[in-house]
Each structure stands twice: as structure tokens, then as C-alpha cells.
Amino acid sequence: MALDLSGLNPDQRAAVLTTEGPLLVLAGAGSGKTRVITHRIVYLLERGVPPGNIVALSFTNKAADEMRERLQKMTDKALASSLVLGTFHSVGAAMMREQPDHFGVPKKFGILDQGDVYGIVRAVLRELGIHGQGADRRFDLGAIVQRISLWKNDFVSPTDAQGLYFETEYDEAAAAVYGPYEERLRALGAVDFDDLIVRIATTLEENTEARAYWQDKFRYLMVDEYQDTNRAQLEVVRRLAGERENVCVVGDDDQAIYGWRGAKVANILGFDMYFKRARTIKLEQNYRSYAPICTCANAVIARNTSRHEKQLVPQRRGGDKVTVVVAPDGDQEARWIGRTIFREIRESGTKPEDIAVLYRSAKQCDAIEALLQEHGLAYRILGGQAFYDKKQVKDALAYLKVMIAPKDDLATRRALDVPSRGVGLKTIEHLSEFARHRNLSLAEAIHRSDEIADIPSRAAAGLRSFSAAIKRGQAHFYASGSAVAPLQGLLEGVGLREYVLKEAGSEAAGTARWDGVVWLLEALGRFEQRGRAKGQVRYNDFFQVMNANKDKDKNEGDDEDGARGQITLSTLHSAKGLEWPLVLLIGCEEGVMPHKRVSAPRISDAIAGDIEEERRLFYVGITRARDRLFITRAATRLERGAEVPRKPSRFLDDLPETEIRVHDIARDERLGHDNIASMAEAFLANLAKGL
Ligand code: ATP
Ligand code: MG
């Protein structure tokens, strides 16, 4: 199959054919940057470059999967599947797996997810006796985790961090936690997401053997969404590129939306500073969206001052105006969305996978989820948290593992921490030591903790009751042959339910959280039933399904089923790079988009919100739409039981009047379907009376 270059414009073609030396493709949304990467890969393969020498890095697993799918259609399937294609995180993990010694990790290292990281930080804080100020004297863990992550990605070591000037008590706490946190990771033989990148960068710098090996292996490097790389990722790219510098990066500074996580736009705008021989190609045409959508996007992003001036030139003429929908309140906004999607699918024949609902914050999707369920419509959620990714569900899952797969030390650690039972860092170290010497699992060491000296009495009591509860659960499990009731008993017995309810802060929130655990128990029950029908219940399969996301990066939470037949609900961050014929961009109000972090930053925000970044996020949202775009907002929203007025997002003011039409639900739908039906009824009734 020869590569067809006719589907590319001259600039795109030049980018595809420039295979040697550093190349930057800087261009607006929908201009075919990702398409350049896929064509470039095919071109390299056809020139005989072995697939193992080609690395393509994309921002999310979803984007990588999509790229692979496209490649499989364009070239030999086997070739396409043996490419190195993934995220920085997944490729980093693969490199570590191949050379654990070089990267300083055990052969079977664990990768901690966000929940694990929070658990460790919480435990270290407790251990160090650090409390926040204010009424509940508790820290926002997220702020500390974020700060440590930013340091790691900037190559600031725990010792360096100690010497920094602290602006907030969060920084101070983070600096104190950082060192013990890293020690715990080492003790667990685990790495966090940041290590998957930072370790690669430092090892390639320090270890000449590893550097030579990987530079020789990864001869052609491509990076999509380059505007959102951080310092550590830049170093990975530079150190892999070596002197050969066969590196092609594509991106758009107007879509830089991860500054809050340490991404540096300077990486892309200063590309030729890092790669002196760099050639830059700009793409001008937009192939994705109809003209009104492009015009709106141009008008919005033009308001940003710090940017590289460029315009989307629409190649698709015609198309509907952008619709701005105004709902009287949040509830009616959600209902309008549910109704509109339902009609699109059931009456207009739009395919569910062609529709996306996009929002600024993950929690906005709850209301939409509920309505789609009501209408019986299938959907998938990107970004935010899938059910089984929530903390309380993972905590419960950890107990299940300790009960039936007690060799899983990470699970044991997790269970030991919630609820807190006075077991500190030192005790864990004693236990790990004891286990290591005798080749035991951590759980076994806990069962034998009486044999260990030096454990403070409070911790010893905690360990004893933990051990007894687990043993009771196990006995119950072996006797009954099902894990559901024993797990439920175990969770109640150790006080997890009370803990979840208390942590939630309110009764409603607590019940909602505990629902996640109930969901897990039900899923487990169904799983056992299916297994029994087949003659065997393999719990490992259950863990695998539940962990499906664990090895993936933290940018998404998609399931394995793919998109077919499902509407997409996504945060704007996770929607980057993707496109849909019909897009609904919801909740466009001040305080939502732009986020309230911008208007009223909290002290715990490691990086204060940035209005230009919010605007770029809005721009990303608009430019996801191919054919039709609806932007919705509510005039009031329910907050703590009262309807509070909401100001329209300032970004709406920038949409050119000629390109939009406004649909005011309260005004325009008074004569909607239902009303017409009841008016007709009344009319007929009157008619009948008159006769
Ligand atoms: P984003 O900035 O959102 O990531 P992008 O620049 O990566 O966008 P692509 O996703 O590669 O853009 O392309 C956008 C759409 O335009 C895709 O549907 C792609 O197939 C189509 N497209 C790109 N180039 C061409 C072309 N030369 N002719 C026709 N269609 C094209
Ligand atoms: Mg792209």
C-alpha cells in the first residue's frame, strides 16, 4: 500500500517529507497536525525504517489508540502494531520494564495511582504531625500532591525543596512531606506517574549506556500536543533525540491548557532555542469545522495578548450558526440537553458517537449523566473519574484484595491506612523489614506483628484488630464461597462505612460516596454469578477489570469498549485533539468557565488560575465541533438549596453576533411540544363544550 499524499496540502506534505533533523509544526486547531504525524509515520515505514525505531508520543491513551487505528487502516497492520506509540507515561513505563536496573526500579515495580499517592501523603502528614490552619486544621491534600509533582517535574529534589522560600504553608508542608514520600515509594518498590517521566530524563542524562541504547533504538521521534509538555518531558525529548535530532513536534500555543500542571509553552515557542537547526512549518487551513465555528474560535482567541498571531481559515464553507442556549436554571439546562440529544438520536438519526457534551469541571457531568440514563441513552465519560476510580471504591477493593489475594502489598498498605489505626511510617518500616527477611507478604507480617519488637502499643493494637478482622473475613469467605457478604462484613467491621460518611462532610455526600461501595459489591456479586455459571470464579480477572485504568495515564478514564454507540461526556482538558460532528459546550458562566479559581484564587492553588489559559480552554472546546456547536448557560443555579443568579461567561461576549443565534428556553419554548399538546386539548375541550 503506497502512501497517498494527495490528501495533504503542500505545507502538510513538506512536513511529512522532512524526516531528518528537528521539525516544528505550529498551527491552529483542526489544521491537520495529527494527520501530519500519522502520514509521516507511514512514510517512514514505507522507506523501510523498522517500526521499533519510530516513537510517537501523544497526550492521552485515547489519542494514541486513535492514532494506531488510523495507522492500521493506512498501512500494514502488523507494522502499525509494532510501533512504539503511546503517552510519555506509557512509553516511560515500557522503557523501565525493559531495563529496570538502569532506571533504578525493581523488576516488578508498581505504579501508584492518584489515590495511592493521596494515601501516602496523608499518612506522612499524620506521621510528621503536620496540621493545616483554620477551622478543621486539615490540609487540602491535592495542593500538597500538586506541589510535589511540580517540583519533581522541575528536577527539584527533596533536599532542594527544603531550601526554598515558602510562600504558603502548603509549600512548607509539601517540602516536609516530599522526602519521606519518596522514601515510602522506594520502600514499596513503586513509582508514581511523575517518575515515569522524570526517571527517564535523569537516567538518560546520567547513564551513558542507557542513553546510547535508547538513542539508537528510538531514531525517529514524534510528539503531538507539544504545547503541553513540561520541563521533564522536554528533557526526555532532548536526551532521546541526541545528536541526530530526528524529532518532529506538532502543537498549537493557543491550546496550551496544562500550565497549572507545570507545562511550559516556552517548549514549543522556543523550540529553535533547544534545537538550533529546527525548521518551522505553519499550517493555515482548518479542515475540521464549518466557517461560523472557525470565526467564533478566531474571535475568542484573538483576545489573548500573549500568543503567536494566527487565524483559522475554514475550508468548509456554509454550516449553521453557533447556537447559544440560555436556560432559566441549571435543572432546565440539563433537561434541555437531555431532550436535545434524545431527539437528535431518536428523531434525526444522529449517531450517539457523533455527539459530545463538554464541560469545564468533572462534577458538571453528574446532572447530564442522570438525564441520559433517564432517556436510556448510552454514554462514556472521559476525564474525571470513572466509578471504579473513586477513592472509596478503591479502598473497598483494597480490602477485598487483602481478604482474598493477601500477597498484594500495595493493597495491604492502602487498607491499613483507611480508616486510620495509628500505624505510622516507622511501624510500616518495621513490618516491611520483618517481611523482607522472612520472604513474607506485608499481610503475613501483620498477622505476626506480635513477634516484632519496637512497635508502639497503639500501633500494635491497630495491627491486631486489622489482622483479626481480615482473618474473620477470610474464614467467612472460605466457608461461604462468595466474597460479597464477607467483604461487606469486613468493611462494616473495620469502620470503613463510618469513615466514608464522616469524611464526606455531609450526609448526602456520604451516602453518595457509599453508593460507590455498594456498586462494587453488586458488581462483585454479578461477577461471581457469571463465573459460577462457567464453572470457575477467577477473582484475578475481577481485579484486572477494576484495574484496567491503573496503568494508564491520569489524563483520562475511558473504558475499553470504544466509542461506538455511546455519547461522549468529557472535560475540556480530556477533549483535546478529538473532534465530533455535534458538540454541546455547557455551563458557560462566570465562575465555571472561567473557573472560579481565576476570579477568587485559593491559597492552596499551587498555581493561581490564569484567565488566558481559561480562554484557551474555551477555544479548545469550540474547535472540537465539526458541524454544529451549542453553547449553553443557566441564568441561575442551585447552590446550597437556593437558586443563585449566574453571570454569563465573559467569553460569550467575544462571539461575533453575525455568527450566533440565541435560543432562550424560557422565551422560545413557551410554545414547545408539551404546551402545544395541552393547548390543543383545551381547544378541543372548549370546542366540545360549545357544540
Ligand atoms: P487539534 O489542534 O485539534 O489537535 P489537528 O491540527 O491535529 O487538530 P487533525 O485532527 O489532524 O487536526 O485534523 C482535523 C480534521 O481535518 C481531521 O478530520 C482530518 O482528517 C482533517 N484533515 C486534515 N488535513 C486535511 C486535508 N489536507 N484534507 C482534508 N481533510 C483534512
Ligand atoms: Mg491534533
Angstrom distance (rounded) from CA 440 to CA 216: 41
Ligand 1 atom 8, closest CA = 30
- Taking residue 320's Cβ as centre, other Cβ atoms within 10 Å add up to 14
pLDDT at 556 over 60: no
Cα(282) to centroid(ligand 2), Å? 14
Lowest mean pLDDT among 13-22, 206-215, 417-426, 629-638: 417-426
pLDDT digits (tens, 9 = 90+) for 162-214: 888 877 788 889 999 999 999 999 988 899 999 999 999 999 999 999 999 99
Q: Helix axis angle, 484-493 relative to 391-404, nearest 10°?
A: 110
Query: For 446-551, where are the E strands, in sequence order?
Result: none
CA angle (519 as vertex; 514, 520 as ends), nearest 5: 100
Q: Could you read off the pLDDT of 562-614 as tens digits, one per residue?
A: 567 889 999 999 999 999 999 999 999 999 999 887 755 555 554 555 899 99
| Closest to 123 measured CA to CA, from 180, 80, 66, 170 | 180
- Reading the block at residue 619, the C-alpha cell is 477555544
Residue 24 CB neighbour total at 10 angstroms: 22
Banded model confidence at residue 143, pLDDT cuts 50, 70, 90: confident
Nearest in space to 513 (alpha carbons), one of 394, 406, 613: 394
Please provide residue 582's backbone torsions phi and psi, each rounded to the nearest 5 degrees: -125, 125
Residue 675 confidence class, pLDDT cut points 50, 70, 90: low
40 is catalytic: no
Helical spans, DSSP H, in 56-131: 61-74, 77-81, 88-98, 100-103, 114-128
316 burial (CB, 10 Å; 0-12 / 13-18 / 19+) is middle
Among residues 11, 12, 33, 68, which one is catalytic?
Answer: 33
In this structure, the residue with its CA closest to atom 13 of ligand 1 is 32
Q: Which atom of ligand 1 is nearest to the CA of 29?
A: 2
Binding residue ranges for ATP: 27-34
* Of 680 and 28, the one with more pLDDT: 28
Q: What is the model's pLDDT at position 250? A: 97
Lowest mean pLDDT among 26-30, 249-253, 514-518: 514-518
Ligand 1: which atom is nearest the Cα of residue 578?
A: 3
CA 577 to centroid of ligand 2, rounded, Å: 4
Residues 381 and 574: their CA atoms lie apart, in Å, by 10
CA-251 nearest atom, ligand 1:
2
For a ligand 1 pocket test, name from 287, 289, 301, 583 the mutation site with the most ligand atoms within 8 angstroms of its C-beta: 287
Q: Would you call 280 a catalytic residue per the annotation?
A: no
pLDDT of amino acid 578? 93
Residue 679, classified by CB atoms within 10 Å of its CB into exposed (0-12), middle (13-18) or buried (19+), is exposed
ipTM above 0.95, yes or no: yes
Using pLDDT thresholds of 50, 70 and 90, give the confidence band for residue 626: very high
List the grid coordinates of 566.
Answer: 455511546
Q: What distance in Å separates the CA atoms of residue 463 and residue 447, rounded to the nearest whole number?
A: 8
The binding site consists of 27-34
Residue 297, pLDDT score: 97
Task: Report yes or no: 10 and 284 within 8 Å, Cβ to Cβ.
Answer: no
Cell 515557542 maps to which residue?
269
Can you name the residues that pair with 223 across neighbouring β-strands? 57, 249
Residue 435's H or E segment, with its range, is helix 425-438
Q: Which residues surround ligand 2, an ion (CB under 5 A)?
A: 33-34, 577
Which among 224, 344, 417, 589 is annotated as catalytic? 224
Contact 22, 241 (CB under 8 A): yes
% of the chain exceeding 70 in pLDDT: 89
CA distance readout (Å), 495 to 466, 489, 490, 621: 11, 10, 8, 43
In the prediction, which pLDDT does 512 show? 65
CA–CA distance, 63 with 58 (Å, rounded to integer): 6
- 394 CB less than 6 Å from ligand 1? no
Q: Can you say whether residue 590 is alpha, beta or left, with left for phi > 0 and alpha for psi between -120 and 50 degrees? A: beta
* Å from CA of 605 to ligand 1 middle: 35
CA distances to 75, 80, 554, 675 from 69, in Å: 10, 9, 22, 47
SS (H, E, C) 582-610: EEEECCCECECCCEHHHHCCCCCCCCCCC
Give the model's pLDDT for residue 454.
83
Strands (DSSP E) found in 87-191: 110-111, 190-191
Alpha carbon nearest to ligand 1 atom 27, residue: 8
CB-side exposure of 239: number of CA atoms within 13 Å? 24
Answer whether 86 contacts ligand 1 (Cβ < 6 A). Answer: no
Which of 89-98, 118-127, 172-181, 191-200 is the least confident region? 118-127
Instruction: Among 16, 288, 290, 617, say which to mutate for ligand 1: greatest number of ligand atoms within 8 Å of CB.
Output: 288
Whether the CA torsion 38, 42, 47, 48 is positive or negative: it is positive
| Mean pLDDT lowest among 229-238, 326-335, 554-563, 575-584 | 554-563
SS3 label, residue 218: coil
619 Cα to the center of ligand 2, angstroms: 14
Query: Crossing angle for the helix pair 330-346 and 365-374, nearest 10 degrees?
Result: 50
Ligand nearest, relative to CA of residue 286: 1
Residues 323 and 582: beta-carbon distance below 8 Å: no
d(CA 94, CA 98): 6
Q: Quick check: CB of 288 below 6 Å from ligand 1? A: yes
Q: By C-alpha distance, which of 62, 77, 73, 65 is closest to 39?
A: 73
Of the listed ranges 416-420, 607-611, 647-651, the one predicted with least confidence: 607-611
Residue listed under C-alpha cell 518500616: 429
Closest residue to atom 9 of ligand 1, CA basis: 32
Count Cα atoms within 13 angstroms, Cβ side, for 125: 25
| Residue type at 107 in one-letter notation | K
For residues 308 and 546, the answer to whether their CB atoms sit within 8 Å is: no
Pocket test for ligand 1, best of 34, 576, 620 (most atoms within 8 A of CB): 34
Nearest atom (ligand 1) to Cα of 577: 4
